[in-house]
Amino acid sequence: MSSRLLKTPMVPFPSRAIIPARDLDKPPILEVSRLGIDFGGLAAVDDFSIIIGRTEIAGLIGPNGAGKTTVFNLLTKVYQPSSGAILLDGKDTSGMNTVQINKAGIARTFQNIRLFSSLTVEDNVRIGLHNHLNSNVFFDIFRLPGYWKSERQAHQMTLELLSIFGMEHMIHYKAGSLPYGAQRRLEIVRALATKPKLLLLDEPAAGMNPSETEELMRNIIEIRDALGIAILLIEHDMKLVMGICEGIAVLNYGRIIAKGTAEEIQTNDEVIEAYLGEKKEA
């Protein structure tokens, strides 16, 4: 399934950055240069630079506490970076807040699932569709035609989005009552509902069994192919990362220690050292 992807030739883009050859003729979706943040003098992320192609599936890996989720929080402006620049689709994002970032085209999921757990599956997806529905509070309260049109549209789009994971039958369930794997999938659906250009997945396979992970890998590729979006994911499951990620960046102590394809990362000495510890001199 993933062999096709692994054979994609990776080409240096401006300088040493790599993106899939098929995305070369289009400007990259995300350009991050020298991004950094420090919390009270401690540099949580430092000198972080990556480039992600239009339809690339990229991976961000690293040991626990390396700063991977902090990178996501910086990209979505949960934290304001203390240095560096983020260009989304060629546009500077400095000064934007989380809401504006989402409207500009980045959607994300969370490592510790953050669903609207007291609401139904349908409501969760419809909340994701919020900025793509045309009703307003006046239409809503007085049930004017604009309300009904927007609700019909929302229902249709919700079913379409849920069909990605075959979850249409769960539409009336409470989000909090779903099994763990389904909650993770619902979070992805909700993120996709905002029609992003770049999807950030924070440990999408956490807590999934091997067969669920296998299916998730297929789903991620399907989403990319169907919607033509870029995906950046954080994951500890190496089978998933090595299986579907075209470009991988390895983070350790807030710094990128290696970038490359799966093969390059697997044979990189510094990466092996970061994960397994220093090689003992004989």
Partner 1 sequence: MKKILKLKKDTRKNLITYGMIILAFLIVRFLSASGNISSAFRGQLVPICVYIVMAVSLNLTVGILGELSLGHAGFMSLGAFTGVIAAIILQGSVSNPLRLAIAMVLGAVIAGIAGLVVGVPALRLRGDYLAIVTLAFGEIIKNIINTLYVGIGENGFRISMVNAESLNLGERGTVIMNGPMGAVGIPKLATFASGFILIMVTLFIVLNLQNSRSGRAIMAVRDNRIAAESVGISVTRYKLMAFIISATLAGAAGALYALNFSTVVARKFDFNTSILILVFVVLGGMGNIRGSIIAATVLTVLPELLRAFNNYRMLLYAVILILVMLVSNNEQLKNMTKKFKGFFKIKRPSDLKGGTARE
Query: Interface with partner 1 by CB under 8 A: which residues?
Result: 76, 78, 97-99, 102-103, 107-108, 110, 114-119, 123, 126-128, 130-131, 133, 135-137, 140-143, 147, 150-151, 154-155, 159, 168-173, 190-191, 193-194
CB of 184 to partner 1, least distance (A): 13
CB of 219 to partner 1, least distance (A): 20
- Closer of 184 and 259 to partner 1 (Cβ): 184
The gap from C-alpha 212 to its chain's centroid, in whole angstroms, comes to 18
- Closer of 135 and 213 to partner 1 (Cβ): 135
- Closer of 66 and 192 to partner 1 (Cβ): 192
Q: What are phi and psi of 264, to 5 degrees?
A: -65, -40
Instruction: Say how far apart CA 202 and CA 70 lie, in whole Å.
Output: 11
- Closer of 162 and 217 to partner 1 (Cβ): 162
CB of 214 to partner 1, least distance (A): 26
CB of 87 to partner 1, least distance (A): 20
What is the identity of the amino acid at 103?
K
Do the Cβ atoms of 240 and 213 come closer than 8 Å? yes
Q: What are phi and psi of 193, to 5 degrees?
A: -60, -25
Token pair of 36 as six digits: 């950094």
Give the closest residue to 51 by CA, choosing from 28, 76, 84. Answer: 28
Give the closest residue to 101 by CA, choosing from 168, 200, 34. Answer: 200
Q: Tokens 């994002």 correspond to what residue?
A: 93
CB of 133 to partner 1, least distance (A): 5
Q: Which residues contact 210 (CB under 8 A, 6 or more apart)?
A: 239
CB of 142 to partner 1, least distance (A): 8
Secondary structure of the chain: what % helix, strand, coil (to 5)? 40, 25, 35
CB of 124 to partner 1, least distance (A): 8
Q: Tokens 């998933």 correspond to what residue?
A: 240
Instruction: Say how far apart CA 72 and CA 79 lie, in whole Å.
Output: 9
- Closer of 16 and 152 to partner 1 (Cβ): 152
Instruction: Say how far apart CA 95 and CA 14 lie, in whole Å.
Output: 26
